[in-house]
Structure 1
Amino acid sequence: MHVCQILKTKSPELISVTPDQTMVEVLRLFRENNIGFVVVSRLPGECLGTLSERDCCNAVAEYGTDAPIMRVSDIMNRSVATCSAQDFLPFVMAIMTQRRTRHVLVMDGDTTVGVVSIGDVVKHRLDESLRNEQALHEYISGTNHH
């Protein structure tokens, strides 16, 4: 399966924040939208970096009580894991494993077009397993004749 097929199943909205926002503002956005990851940008499609729940936890561990009022630009991840919409899912899974990340940005050249999360990968693999199981049951029971 290509990454573009996963993107078709997701909301096209890509939630982003600016580098000038504070960590606590981003955490509120996480809560309001039930997410744990955003792209940092000033313009649509741009990626200056990313910020995840893990990045926020690391900032608190490093900066203590100053972390919540720190600017996103001071705590964001600048080493962003990326792929293209034409990449295959196992390739993205390998990136997630090698980079120890739960999110990979999908890029079209220099433009961010989406995000694939570990949740998206698990959902796809579960759906695939259920389809295979159903097909095997139908094959064994002889209910799927062509």
Structure 2
Amino acid sequence: MRVADLLKKKGSSVVTLPSTATVAQLLETLDDHKIGAVVVVDDDRVVGIVSERDVVHHLRGGGDHFSSLTSLMTSDVQTVTAEDDLVQLATTMTERRLRHLPVVEDGALRGIVSIGDVVKARLDALEAERDMLEDYLRR
């Protein structure tokens, strides 16, 4: 299964904010959408990603709610393409301890994949395989 297959099922919608947004705006966005990370986009270009974990580190370190996202976002963003394999992606996400990866094609944001998406896709595939084997054994 590829990232493109996953995006067909879950959709390609991505919640984004500009780098000029504040931590307070980020918190509101995370809560409103019930998500764990936001892709930071300026001029239709991915410039960062910021997660709940980043907010915790920022606030614990004395940062305030009025800081811009540039003060806490990860600017060296690991991305994937629609053609990437989900099994390899799961390994990469686990080894690098990444929970969210933006999907970028030709410099444009096309979606986002979470570790939960990858696990769900894998479980769905295993369940389908089990069902096929049970069907085969019943014949």
Cα separation, 1, equivalents of 2:80 and 2:94: 14
Deviation of the 1:136 alpha carbon: 1.8
Cα separation, 2, equivalents of 1:84 and 1:94: 15
Tell me the secondary structure at the aligned position of residue 50 of structure 1. Answer: strand
Deviation of the 1:7 alpha carbon: 1.0
Do the aligned residues in 2 keep the contact of 1:81 with 1:103 (CA within 8 Å)?
no
Query: Which shifted more, 105-114 or 29-38?
Result: 105-114
Unaligned runs of 5+ in 2: none
Taking structure 2 as the reference length, the TM-score comes to 0.92
Q: Give the equivalent residue in structure 1 for 2:56.
A: 57
RMSD of aligned C-alpha atoms?
Answer: 1.4
Q: Across the two proteins, how many residue pairs are aligned to each other?
A: 139
Q: Give the equivalent residue in structure 2 for 1:78.
A: 75
Do the aligned residues in 2 keep the contact of 1:92 with 1:104 (CA within 8 Å)?
no
Q: Give the equivalent residue in structure 2 for 1:120.
A: 117
Tell me the secondary structure at the aligned position of residue 13 of structure 2. Answer: coil
Q: Give the equivalent residue in structure 2 for 1:27.
A: 27
Deviation of the 1:11 alpha carbon: 2.8
Taking structure 1 as the reference length, the TM-score comes to 0.88
Which of structure 1's runs of 4+ aligned residues deviate more than 3 A? none
Unaligned runs of 5+ in 1: none
Do the aligned residues in 1 keep the contact of 2:47 with 2:77 (CA within 8 Å)?
no
